[in-house]
Structure formats: structure tokens, C-alpha cells
Structure 1
Amino acid sequence: MGTLFLIRHAQASFGAADYDVLSDTGHEQSRALGRALARQGVRPEALFTGAQRRHRETLEGILDGMGAPPRAAQVHPGLNEFDFKALLDARFRGGTPPDNLHGDRKTHFRTLRDTVLAWQRDEVPNPPETWAEFTARIEDARRAMARDGGDVLAISSGGAIGQMLAAALGAPPEQQIRLQLQMKNCAVNRFVHSPRSFYLHGFNETPHIDASNTNAFLTYS
């Protein structure tokens, strides 16, 4: 049996022209998490990331914090986030989206929740990918990471992680977005796995956060 450490990327750049870049806080979070994982004795045999820049930058920071040399990760599209901007655009195509949809956090995430629930019911016309396509690629990533049964460290995004958690728990689709919206930046989710089994062992852990740095490091977007 091995352990999959499935980590949400560090804080990206919400509201900026390019979201897919870690903020200064995000770089600090990733290095701090690396130091915490090193203290726990985590030594992954394999590394996986999605294809997004924030995934790669988070892994680089974690390895730096662990005092480990840079290593190439296997890039798997199943660990990519769904295209939330394109999904929101598809929902409101021909209509009027809420004011400041991509700038105000509360408005954005409330609208995203309702849009994902509609997407799951196939009520969003011409989405960037169907819900069935999204869940299938997440499952493909899970199988790839569990194939050899060793310890794996992977960087992904909240939506993909939420779906892998929901699937592992046998939860209905609507739980995916509820799990996603709880996911902290740089949170660690642990699964015990082998080629024939896959169990949730830890949820939304932040071993790099304590009372001295909560205000700086506890972020959700």
C-alpha cells in the first residue's frame, strides 16, 4: 500500500489578468508546506501535476522547502482544473452575468457553485467539457497515480480534488462543489492506495499553518 498526497495549488492571482500565477503569498505557502512535509518524513517516489503553471510553481516551492533537488513530474490532464471562466461564460451566454463576477470573491464563488450544480445536471449549454468528460479524466488520473502502489505527491486544483474526494467516498455529484469550496490553498489530502484499493485517509490538512502564521497563510483563493 502507498500514500497519495494530493495537494491543492498555493494561492494564485484571483482577479488578476492572469490567474494562473502564484501570488507572493502562494510562493511562501508552498515552501512552508515543503518544510512541513519534510518534518513528517514524506519522501514521494513519484510526482504528478496538472498542466497549469500554478501547479508547477507550487511543486517547485514544495521541493525547495523540502530541501529536495528539482525533479520532473508526470503531467496528467486529469489533474487540471475545469475551465471555470469558460463554464461561467457558457452559462450566461446571451444573458446577463452578475456584476463583478470575476472580481468579487463572494459573488464569484456563489455563482460558480450554482453553475457547477447546473453543469452536473447537463443544464449548461455547450460547456467547455461535459460533466461526464470531467469526471472521466479525474478517474483516469487517479488510476495512473495508484498504478504502482507507491508514495505519490501530486499537485492539482480544487475542482479536480473535490471530484476525486467525492468519488472515493461514493458521494453524489453535488458533494463535489461543496468539497471544492472548502479546499484551502496548499491543503493536503491523503489517500491510501494500491492497484486495487483507494481510501481517503486525510482531508484538507495544512501542516504548514499554526497560530503564528494563520493570518498570512490561511487562504482559499
Structure 2
Amino acid sequence: MAELLVIRHAQASFGADNYDRLSELGHRQSELAGAALRESGWLPDRLVTGTLTRQHETLASMGFSQPPETHAGLNEYDFHNLLSVRFEGQVPDSVRHDRKTHFRTLRDTILQWQAGGLHGAAESWRQFTDRVGAARHFATQTDARRVLAISSGGPIGQLVASCLGAPDAEMMALNLQVKNTSWTRFFFSKQGFTLHEFNATPHFSSAERAKMLTYS
């Protein structure tokens, strides 16, 4: 069977005016992830990313220079928009700048979204799941045997939840676990799509590198 290795982008710029850029640490995380793939002998024969800057910067810093194909289905849901809709444009400072408050609030917001709330959001929950499914189809309808995709926590959580037939709410539980530059691996063929590995970070396995592990 062929492999689809989905890697979450490296650390972005949490709390900055432009979140969609890697931090200095994010570039270093990407370099380590790319080096670990090459050291293991796993070299992709197809590259796919979403359209977000942090995803493209991750791939570039991993050291894979060939131009990737892009599919917007690998992009994150627009959490800025969802929070803005929930708070009617007045998102509290603590939600925007305090990590614990942000992710606790985000979890509750996504559960509302999944249940059909947040009317007026730029994207519905069903539109999100449909585009993630389209991205999976795009990445796996190929003769390539090793497909490397750079995505984000939400789509990765949804790919895993849908593969396992889990309830919608499980997507968010998975989403919040996904580490920056972690590896989630699927096997695929014309007959099936199965999860093989979730959220692995072998490039942070040493005590020194473990300090580089981040979630946002």
C-alpha cells in the first residue's frame, strides 16, 4: 500500500498580528523534521500543502525544494472568524493572548460550530469536513507511493476522526493534541484508507530536543 504522511506546520506566531508565519523556533522544528525523514530513508515522491504561508514555510524549511501541489482543503478552519462570530466581533484579550484561555475557548467554540451554531461564520462545519475530504481524495488519487502533505491541526484531527468513524466531537479532542511538525501516517490504496500512526515526533525524542516541542 502507498503512504500519506501528513505533517502539521511548525510553530506559528501566536498572539501576533499575523499568525500565519513561522516563528524562529518553527523554522528550526521544520529543519529537524525534514532531516529525520531523510535519515530514516523516507523520501516523498509527491508533495502537497494547503495554501497557508505557515504550511509553505514549513515545507521549505524541511528542505524539500520541489514546488508542491496545493489544495485548500488542507487549510485550517478560520478560528479568528469563528471566535469573532461567537463574540460578535469583540473577542476578549484573554482569548487572543493567553494560550490556556484561547484553546479552552476555541474548543467550546468548535463544539458549538459542529452542533450547527455560529450562524454567519465564513464556513460551516459541513463545508469544512467536505473540503478536508476533498483534500484526502486529491492526495491519494495518485500513482505516487509516498505522499507528503503539510496541513494544520484541524484538518489532521478531522482526517483521523473520519478514518476511524469517530463522532464529530472527537475531531476537536484530536485537534488539540496535534504537535507542531508531528507526523500522522495513513496507508491507502484503491480499496481503503487506514490510520497507521498519529502525532509522532521522533525528531524531538532526545531530552534536549524535547524542549522544542510546541502545540501552536
TM range (shorter): over 0.9
**Aligned match of 2:101 in 87, 100, 107?**
107
Can you give the 5+ residue segments of structure 1 that lack an aligned partner in the other structure? none
Asked whether 1:116 is paired with 2:110, we answer yes
Aligned-residue offset at 1:212: 2.1
Identity of matched residues, % = 49
Q: Is the 8 A contact 1:148 1:194 kept in 2?
A: no
Q: SS of 2:207's equivalent?
A: coil
Superposition map of 1:12-51 within 5 A = 12-51=12-51
Aligned counterparts of 2:139 and 2:40: Cα–Cα separation in 1 = 21
Aligned counterparts of 1:46 and 1:195: Cα–Cα separation in 2 = 17
Aligned counterparts of 1:145 and 1:116: Cα–Cα separation in 2 = 26
Q: SS of 1:3's equivalent?
A: strand
Aligned-residue offset at 1:99: 4.1
Aligned-residue offset at 1:213: 1.3
Q: Which runs of 4+ in 1 moved over 3 A?
A: 96-99
Q: Which residue of 2 aligns with 1:5?
A: 5
Asked whether 1:159 is paired with 2:154, we answer yes
**Aligned match of 2:83 in 88, 112, 116?**
88
Q: Which residue of 1 aligns with 2:172?
A: 177
Asked whether 1:212 is paired with 2:208, we answer yes
Aligned-residue offset at 1:98: 4.1
Between 97-106 and 112-121, report the one with greater CA deviation. Answer: 97-106
Aligned counterparts of 2:107 and 2:70: Cα–Cα separation in 1 = 27
Between 106-115 and 142-151, report the one with greater CA deviation. Answer: 142-151
Deviations 1:62-114 (A, max 9, x none): 1x2xxx5x1010110100111000011011117x6444211000111000000
Aligned counterparts of 1:61 and 1:207: Cα–Cα separation in 2 = 17
Aligned counterparts of 2:115 and 2:159: Cα–Cα separation in 1 = 19
Question: In structure 2, what residue type is equivalent to 1:189?
Answer: T
Deviations 1:133-155 (A, max 9, x none): 00000000001111125210000
Aligned-residue offset at 1:123: 1.2
Task: Tell me how many residue pairs correspond in the alignment.
Answer: 214
Q: SS of 2:150's equivalent?
A: strand
TM-score by length of 1: 0.94
